[in-house]
Amino acid sequence: MSEDGFRAAVAAGVMGADDAYRSLLQSVVDVARSIFGAKASSIFLLDEEADELVFEAVSGEGERSLIGMRIPSSTGIAGWTLVTRQPLVIEDLTQDPRHAREVAERSGYVPKGIMSVPLLADERVLGVLQVLDRPKRPDFSLQEMELLGLFANQAAIALDLMQRTRRAKAALDAVGGDVEIVARVAAALDDLTEGDRSRAMRLLEALEAVLRA
């Protein structure tokens, strides 16, 4: 396979995966909004380098304008959820000093109530899932909390995979002219006998460990 062909094939696979994970995130917010009867639902991704939260998926109010919008990672209820890694349910945001009303106004939608939960993968916090303006109830039930946790788990899985594909794309872009070397290694592995291939894979794994150290 030529360098251009190899690069195009890998890039297509990475971009296809990114689109698939984005669709999964969209389905999470769509279903969450529907199940809770809420006005809106959104998923933020933490951009660690920029120290910002990025709207990655939105359902309901603001869904056409918010994707890609960024806010400082410490801002508002989302920021509190991110830092504390604790779920939070607030029925009246006007009475909560953590609410960043000016940011909500900038987004074009000011919620009255919110459900906010961190998105965790192992020990890492990846972002925040929020459900806005569900119908008020006297108490937030244990069943609702468990359901919110299920949505958070699905969103965290999708965000984790999305970050991995984006890192893969960044690595592919960084390789640049060295793609041909990668292609030759891949082709050479295909030509090896089973025993030689196994030894070669162990060598590559050792090399990866050195590069990661």
Residue 184 pLDDT class (50, 70, 90 cuts): low
pLDDT at 183: 55
pLDDT at 17: 72
Map out the domains of the chain as residue ranges: 19-169
Token pair 């109530």 is found at 113
DSSP code per residue over 17-73: HHHHHHHHHHHHHHHHHHHHT-SEEEEEEEETTTTEEEEEEEEETTTTT-TT-EEET
Closest CA to 103 of 68, 75, 67: 75
| β-strand partners of 45 | 54, 127
Distance CA 210, CA 171 (A): 17
CB–CB of 40/63 below 8 Å? yes
Question: How confident is the model over 100-115, as pLDDT tens digits?
Answer: 898 888 888 899 999 9
pLDDT at 3: 47
Domain 19-169, what fold?
Answer: Beta-Lactamase (3.30.450)
pTM value is 0.73
| Percentage of the chain modeled with pLDDT above 70 | 70
How many Cβ atoms from other residues are within 10 Å of residue 145's Cβ?
A: 14
